[in-house]
Amino acid sequence: MVAEHVDIPLTLRDRIIAAAGEMTTTTGWASVTMAKLADVVGVSRQTVYNEVGKKPALAEAMVLEELARFLEVVNTAFDEHDDLVAAIRAACRSVLEFAQDNTLLHAIVSATHGADTELLPLLTTNSESLLATAKAVLTERIRGFDTGLDAQRLDTAIDMVVRVVLSHIMQPSASPAETADGIAWMAARVLS
């Protein structure tokens, strides 16, 4: 029996965030206004504010929504591997490959002029929400593996992997496969 695909209707908040992402990728973050979002989604400007708050809150919601897509890739990689280092390698490679073609990520990374400066800090200097969410998912996925590390050391190792992957997303220095191999090598040294 084949599982039937069921589309879950998007909430109003989801529709607003999706519209903001689409506008950001096509015309840039500076062009995103609550009035334009209201027109695109078909609601009042006040409704947009009620759903997402002001523009900085919208920016964070948009980044966290995109992070959820990246974390789906991580979960899939962990679902496909019984070996922790292999799962880390696969997750890193998949995330880095996903990042290469991610138009919203590229719009965020290139949003460095004028009003666009709200986005980039959400991936760099003000990335606490992003880091905490990514670390929580990785911690949950690693929980089933015997690492031999106490909780503090494991948290440090997870933090290292998340930050290194984020760094390579922002500024790749090799192919996703090469980078993933390097991160997996590092992780294997820490986890053995």
Q: Write the single-letter amino acid at 91.
A: A
Q: How confident is the model at residue 115 (pLDDT cuts 50, 70, 90)?
A: very low
Q: Give the span between the Cα atoms of 13 and 84, in whole angstroms.
A: 36
Which residue carries 């029996």 as its tokens? 1
User: What's at 52, amino acid-wise?
Assistant: V
pTM: 0.79
Q: What is the DSSP letter of 16?
A: H
Is the distance from CB of 94 to CB of 85 less than 8 angstroms? no
How confident is the model at residue 1, as a pLDDT?
46
31 vs 159: CA distance, rounded Å: 34
CB distance 44 to 38 below 8 Å: yes
Q: Amino acid identity of 29?
A: W
Q: How far apart are the first and last CA of the chain?
A: 42
| DSSP 8-state assignment for residue 144 | T
Among 111, 6, 129, 8, which Cα is nearest to 66's? 129
Residue 77 has pLDDT above 90, yes or no: yes
Amino acid symbol at 167: S
Residue 134 near residue 69, CB atoms below 8 Å: no
pLDDT value of position 51: 94
User: Rounded distance, CA 117 to CA 104, Å?
Assistant: 15
What is the average pLDDT across 94-113? Answer: 80
Q: 63-191 — its CATH code?
A: 1.10.357
CA distance 50 to 82: 44
CA neighbor of 91 nearest in space, from 183, 153, 163, 189 = 183
pLDDT over 60 (residue 42): yes
Could you give the CA distance from residue 38 to residue 14 in angstroms, rounded to a whole number? 13
Domain ranges in the chain? Answer: 63-191
Residue 114 has pLDDT above 70, yes or no: no
Token pair in block for residue 9: 């209707």
